[in-house]
Amino acid sequence: MHPLIKNLPLLIFVLFFYSSPSFYVRAQDNIPFTVSPVAPEIQKQGASGYFDFDVVAKQKQTIYVQIKNNKNEPLAFIVTPLNAITSQYGQILYDVNTKKSNFINLKVPLKKYMTPESEIVVPPNASRQVPLEINLPDVNEGLVLGGIHVIAEDATFDEKEINKGTSTLQIKNQIAYVLGIKMQFPEMVPPKFSFGKIKIDMVDGMPKLLIEMKNSAPAVIKDLSGKYVVTAEDGKKVLKGSFSSLKMAPNTRVKYPVDWVSGKLKPGTYKAKLTATFGDKKVIATKNFAIKETKTIKEYNQLTKEVVNEPAIPWWNYLLTTLVAGCIFFIIGRKSKKEKEKEN
């Protein structure tokens, strides 16, 4: 079994709240509906809790998702196929809210080649198997990794009212399931990793070095590690560090954020030496980038300067205080000793 998919049920059979802030649903809570995959005849032996089967070019296949309605009223559902993406911190995610920029050389976008029913309604306290039609393109290599997102249109998990001053905020929480799907074409291909552009950006008021990482092949990168060293124009090292245990979904790119811990952002040209390893592969790259004196960077540099220039107590002040305190205790101690000797 594919090592990544082996752990898939732990990742995808989680109920997500669509509210702010986010919470996780506990297993014992009374949820309005449940979702489970119906294993097709071509399902790989030993795979359960998600879809896992081999496919060929132009294959047509119907798979089914079972939805159980636990409420006393009918529920309408929205089913959305999705491709797995890579999170900014190097984890594989099954998120329905993806962007075109998340992918690179994607040949099998599941939203295009997997079609659910347009109207899905499940009667009260009943179950229904919902079909999804798969019509694959003329592709015969690589891995397709994704999920099937299921959410009820109007079913809320619970409702809360929060009073804030003179106003009342009502929060309605919904839940969703994502069932994993893995389809393997006959020809397996190795991952293809590369570094893309890098740049400095302000994230939540703090500077980050964004290192673009690409996996342009239909394969999973399981254990990616590497190092980075940034030097200024004068050759001085201003930043260095490492990353490890990252994963990348097939045909995805990500901008990996690194904290800029060198203090002030000095405008100029910088050079980054990058190294990445996965399996028996090693990728080395050198990328140049510039820091421009934008308004945001000016404000950050001014703030950094104010913090650095805050008046501090000199070190000799601490030493002098310690010596004076020591002398006082010594004198008090001797005086106390003499008084005791007189009493005796």
- pLDDT tens-digit series, residues 189-201: 999 999 999 999 9
- Position 241: which residue type? G
Residue 48 scores a pLDDT above 80: yes
Please tell me the predicted confidence (pLDDT) of residue 13. Answer: 39
Name which of 6, 3, 4 is nearest 47 in CA terms.
6
pLDDT in tens, 276-325: 999 999 999 999 999 998 888 888 888 876 544 444 455 555 556 666 55
> Does residue 337 or residue 321 have the better pLDDT?
321
Taking alpha carbons only, the member of 36, 52, 26 closest to residue 184 is 52
Q: Are 53 and 43 in contact (CB under 8 A)?
A: yes
- Maximal CA-CA distance, the chain: 108
| Domain locations in the chain as residue ranges | 33-158+172-184, 193-303
Residue predicted with more confidence, 239 or 166: 239
State the pLDDT at residue 179.
Answer: 95
Q: How far apart are CA 211 and CA 297, in angstroms?
A: 19
Contacts of 76 (CB under 8 A, 6+ apart): 119, 120, 121, 152, 153, 154
In percent, the amount of the chain with pLDDT more than 70 equals 75
Torsion on CA atoms 285, 290, 294, 296, rounded to nearest 10: 30
Contacts of 235 (CB under 8 A, 6+ apart): none
pTM (two decimals): 0.78
Lowest average pLDDT, out of 162-176, 195-209, 239-253, 323-337, goes to 323-337
Q: Same CATH fold, 193-303 and 33-158+172-184?
A: yes
Residue 335 has pLDDT above 60, yes or no: no
Phi, psi dihedral angles at 259 (to 5 degrees): -65, 130
For residue range 174-233, list pLDDT tens digits in order.
Answer: 889 999 999 999 999 999 999 999 999 988 888 999 999 999 999 999 999 999 999 999
Q: Which CATH class is domain 33-158+172-184?
A: mainly beta
Where do runs of H (alpha helix) occur along the chain?
3-6, 8-12, 110-113, 295-308, 315-343
Determine the CATH number of domain 193-303: 2.60.40.2360
12: left (phi over 0), alpha (psi -120 to 50) or beta: alpha
Of 313 and 136, which is predicted with more confidence? Answer: 136
Q: Which two tokens stand for residue 335?
A: 């005086």
pLDDT for 73-129, tens place per residue? 999 999 999 999 999 999 999 999 999 999 999 999 999 999 999 899 999 999 999
